[in-house]
Structures are given as structure tokens and as C-alpha cells.
Amino acid sequence: MKIGILTGGGDCPGLNAVVRGVTKSALRRGWEVIGFRDGYRGLVEKDFLPLHDHDVSGILTRGGTILGTSNTANPFAYTLAPLGSCEKPKDLSRLAFQNFRDLGLDALVAIGGDGTLTMAQQLYKRGMPVVGVPKTIDNDLSATDVTFGFDSALNVATEAVDRVHTTAQSHHRVMIVETMGRYAGWIALRAGIAGGGDIILLPEIPYRAKDIIGAVLERKRRGKKFSIVVVAEGARPGKGKMTVTRMVKGSPDPMRLGGVSYKIAEILDNSSIGLESRVVVLGHVQRGGEPTPFDRWLATGFGVKASELLAKKRFGQMVSFRDYGFTAVSIAEAVGKLRRVQPGAQEVRTALALGVSFGNSRITG
């Protein structure tokens, strides 16, 4: 076989480990492997590089992706110059298919999150042999227990929560740590629990200003002169909207979230709690750097499993990690429905049992 690999969407730790896993296992089957540069842009514009054993040697521990990535190169609504434009997106899927055939490819491995895999499913429905690999630090893809990149992001977020504890305690302040996660609160929830956060605000549980203030005051009454708030970027007030920093034309998900932590700080500073607030927005540091050992292990297993699916010609499938084993599900099953935190889930009840507030007194476990 001759296979192509691409990495789409936002970068995250572990992408190179997947590329390495697919490539090494494919080469040992006697296959030929090429990598498309910058996600689907490489497929549309026929921009690629051959992948040999030496090309993927030493990349296991590296963050990012040696292939490059793009979260705007949608073959069905292409906006990148010179072939497309933001003003008039073009459907260049036929060109992608033509390049696939011209290169003599037998299959494509698409590594990415919901947007990348949705495009992969569209290509598969039109006849392209595709296998998907789930990637996102948000951990919000359905049909898999965990995605690679999440553990690394969680590690960064938890360390940040750990570090602000000393400053909060020394200065008697409220420290607010804002994590990524888009519409799912997995990073904030687990970093909040692992880091000993006092208040955790999630997109799935709308917060109420009076309950956030009440939680801080209750801690003061118990002699706690500081509080740690861990807030997901998609957190929102009851009957309110998420905080949007800007809109990006041509992106599959044009809404850029961020800045809700400053709203929380304003709520607290305008109250009578008598404590100053400080904000730490983690942003893209959660997506950079070396992958954790777990993410290296998970990503490598995903890559090898993808190669197995190709060998069995199980196209239209996505590698999945369930019950601590590698399996596969249809890409269609994995996309279109986000995996989000359930307010009644065990993890939420665990936090509540420890006295953590979710900024909503109606959530009692």
C-alpha cells in the first residue's frame, strides 16, 4: 500500500508520536508513506514529503507536528490563497481526490479533532479510503474514553493551579486560573480537582455571581483567607453567553473563546468579600511542549492501531481507546456530538463531596 498522513486542526502534544507510530508500523509492512503539509492544504495543493524511518526518528518526545497543521484548510470550503479566498470559499474536494489518485495513494490517515474528522467523514462518504485518529486537548470527542493531548494539557493546567496556591495564600487573594476546553470543561474539572481548586466553573454548569461570591465568603468564615478559582474558557452565567474574544472568518469553528476569568474577577472585585483578585490565562501554553509519557504511549498505540485498520481495509473507521484497550468505531459515530461533562457525573460529585463549589448552589450532587 501507499498511504498519506495529515495532521489537522490545532496542534497538541502527541501528534508526532502518532505520525511516528503510523509510519514505522506501515514501513515494516513494506508500505510507502507520505505526509501532507499543513493538514488538508497539502492534500488540496499537492504539497507533501516522503516519510522514511529516519524522518520520524527522534520525534516521539517533540511537541507540535513535523507535518504542520491548519484549522482553516477545509477542502469543501477552501479559503487559503492562492486557490481560495475568505470572501468566496471554494469546494476543492474534487482537486483533493484528483491529487489522491495522481499520487497513487491507497488510503489516507487523518489525525485531528471534530473538524478534521468531520472533513474526513465527508471524504470517505464520497469514496476516499480514510482512517481517523482522534486528537484534541479538550477531550470532547465522542466514542473514545480519552484523546491524546488531553493529559499533557491537564498536566500544564494542574501545575499552574499548584503554583498559584502559594501566592494566593501569601497575599490573601483570589487567584483565577482560566483553562482551554472550548465547550467542554474536562481540563478545568480535572485540574481543579487535582490542584485543589475551591471553585470550578464549567460550560456545562452555568454559574451565578451570587453563588461565586457566597463560596468565597463561606471560605472566609471558615478562616480561609484565599480562594482558587479554576474556570474553563467556555464557562457562562445562567441565561448568559460565553465570552468571545473574536470571530475568525474561514475557520470551521470561527468563535474564539477567552477572557471569562476577567469577568469573574470583576464580579469578585465589585463585591464585599474584601479580597483582591488576580487572573492567570493559560491559553496556548496548554497545547505546547513535550507530551507526557501517557500521551506518548496513547498516541503511539493510536498510530499502530490505525496501521492495523488500514491493513484490514477498515476504512471510515476511527481509532478509539475504550476500557484501557485500543479499538475502532465509525468516524460518523465519533463526530457531530461533543463529549461533555455531565453535572451529575461521579467526578462532579467527588468535587462536591470535598466542598468544591461549581458557582451554582443548585448543583448539590
Question: What is the pLDDT, as a whole number, of residue 336?
Answer: 76
Q: Is residue 313 assigned to a domain?
A: yes
Tell me, what CATH number does 41's domain have?
3.40.50.450
Distance CA 141, CA 152 (A): 16
138 is catalytic: yes
Tell me if the pTM is above 0.75. yes
Chain center to CA of 192: 17
Q: Do both 235 and 305 map to the same domain? A: no
Q: Do both 48 and 133 map to the same domain? A: yes
Which DSSP helix (H) or strand (E) runs through 116? Answer: helix 114-125
pLDDT tier, 253 (very low <50, low <70, confident <90, very high otherwise): low
pLDDT higher than 70, residue 250: no
Distance CA 100, CA 82 (A): 20
Share of the chain above pLDDT 70, in %: 98
| Mean residue pLDDT across the chain | 92
Q: Are 143 and 329 within 8 A, CB to CB? A: yes
Q: Is residue 37 assigned to a domain?
A: yes
Supply the range of the domain harboring residue 187. 153-287+342-353
pLDDT higher than 90, residue 245: no
Residue with the three cell numbers 483553562: 179
Q: Do both 346 and 202 map to the same domain? A: yes
pLDDT higher than 90, residue 242: no
Q: Do both 201 and 295 map to the same domain? A: no
SS3 content of the chain, % helix, strand, coil (to 5): 35, 20, 40
Q: Do both 142 and 33 map to the same domain? A: yes
Find the length of the chain. Answer: 365
Q: Is residue 363 assigned to a domain?
A: no
Residue with the three cell numbers 455571581: 209
Of 138, 140, 198, 295, the catalytic one is 138
| Tens of pLDDT, residues 153-197 | 999 999 999 999 998 888 888 999 999 988 999 999 999 999 999
